[in-house]
Structure 1
Amino acid sequence: MSLRQITRSSWFQHAAGFVASEFLRFVWLTNRFSYDPPDLYAQFEPQMPVVVAFWHGQHFMMPFLKRRHLKAKVLVSRHRDGEINAIAAERLDIGTVRGSGDHGASFHRKGGVAAFKAMLRVLEEGVNMALTADVPKVSRVAGLGVIMLARDSGRPIIPVAIATSRFKRLNNWDRSVINLPFGRGVIATGKSVRVPADADDAAMEALRVQLQDNLNEVTRRAYAIVGRADEADRAG
């Protein structure tokens, strides 16, 4: 059996998902986490369900944003790496919607239409919906997908960043951060973005840029809070 066959096998993906979820739980338990603003749940729970947006590569600790009494799902790709992420997320009590957030030429091929409709249903059922804001394979550039979801659902977008003082940054397209234990951590939220139901193309583009700016701001702030000002400018 080739390495490719092994990594695509169900047993390997479930084992990897188990290891990933338990490592992330260990990171959560061994970091001293704070919240910025301190009353972020009091601010946003009355607005729920919400669309939670974050940068790709900054997503590993996002399951810990959810409190026990809240319901949430996350958009996960259909790629084999996505299967591992989905298994890990579900072990951490986060439901999943499978498909692509891309609204380009591959939208239909990657299950984007079905995923978009599923995310709308999730929000209609009163469940928070989380997804990365980036254009696929283009780091730190927000796409229109999350803006379209907010417009069609009528729900606000909450930009979120989770940072730890100890981490390993990978040299890949999204600058993925592997959070490490025994440090400081923060869950930070930025200014919410609301998209009117009648938003035209110009308004959608303006709100896309606003979300992008808000995500960059909250990501830089999160790194500064945990004492990694050296990473603040690189983060967003």
Structure 2
Amino acid sequence: MKRLIRNTLRSRWLQRAVGLLAAEYLRLVWLTNKFSYDPPDVYELVEPRMPSIFAFWHGQHFMTPFIKTKDSHRAKVLISLHRDGEFNAIAAARLGIGTIRGSGDHGAAFHRKGGVGAFKEMVRALQENYNVALTADVPKRSRVAGLGIIMLARESGRPIMPFAMATSRFIRLNNWDHTTINLPFGRGALVGIEEVFVPPDADAATMERLRQQLEANLNEATRRAYARVGRPEEALHG
């Protein structure tokens, strides 16, 4: 029985069906929430700095495909090679976002999880004028920014743009990253925070300082996003 369930979950037809349904559900959420922007001219400020590395917290990622509002906003997102990543990849493609498969982890599992290839592909995508979006967290450690994204910024020469998206109505799961499932018919907020630029000659101490800055900026973006939708208490968990 367990094998049957496992094989069913791995079947291409089910993964495609779930991915497409998820994409259309997220589109419904986007269209039925009234979104505000902080700062109000966030796109005017960010566009001259593209292509950029867009950073957000794990578990807060479902609405991120909708930061792409123009065809000229070419974007790719890093998605894990895990089975659950297949659903996310299909949903992202449905919403017009390219995918890069692999791990952002720079620990012991980096090579095994396709991290080296994914890192090179992200650098190449930025060189080809794609924005690249990825979670900043260390795997399984929510709200702790890793050095992987700092290394990507140093190697590519592109700025990191920290941001957060929140909705007033949601369901929060009791897992490691407190995954938030956004619900329709409410209010939403997109908050962009000061960019983080990593110089090409950054040493270990500089990279650690910028890692801490990115972590602080993402927490501040999350706090402001939940405050804008009237749920300030949720920022601590979000």
Identity level (%): 67
Per the alignment, in what secondary structure is the counterpart of residue 197 of structure 1? coil
Count of aligned residue pairs for this structure pair? 235
Cα deviation digits, residues 37-92 of structure 1 (max 9, x gap): 11001001001000000000000000000012210000000111001000000000
> Partner of 2:17 in structure 1?
15
Measure, in 1, the Cα distance between the counterparts of 2:42 and 2:225: 14
Per the alignment, in what secondary structure is the counterpart of residue 207 of structure 1? helix
The match for 2:42 among 12, 23, 40 is 40
Q: Which runs of 5+ in 2 are unaligned?
A: none
Runs of 4+ in 1 over 6 A off after TM superposition: none
Counterparts of residues 168-183 of structure 1 (less than 5 Å): 168-183=171-186
Q: Compute the displacement of 1:8 (Å).
A: 0.8
Q: Compute the displacement of 1:234 (Å).
A: 2.6
Q: CA RMSD in A?
A: 0.8
Q: Compute the displacement of 1:5 (Å).
A: 1.0
Instruction: Give the partner amino acid of 1:13.
Output: Q
Measure, in 2, the Cα distance between the counterparts of 1:5 and 1:160: 37
The match for 1:166 among 165, 169, 192 is 169
Q: TM-score, structure 1 length as denominator? A: 0.98
Q: Does 1:72 align with 2:75?
A: yes
Q: TM-score, structure 2 length as denominator? A: 0.97
Counterparts of residues 1-236 of structure 1 (less than 5 Å): 2-69=4-71, 70-235=73-238
Measure, in 1, the Cα distance between the counterparts of 2:235 and 2:90: 31
Q: Compute the displacement of 1:232 (Å).
A: 2.4
Instruction: Give the partner amino acid of 1:49.
Output: P
Instruction: Give the partner amino acid of 1:19.
Output: L
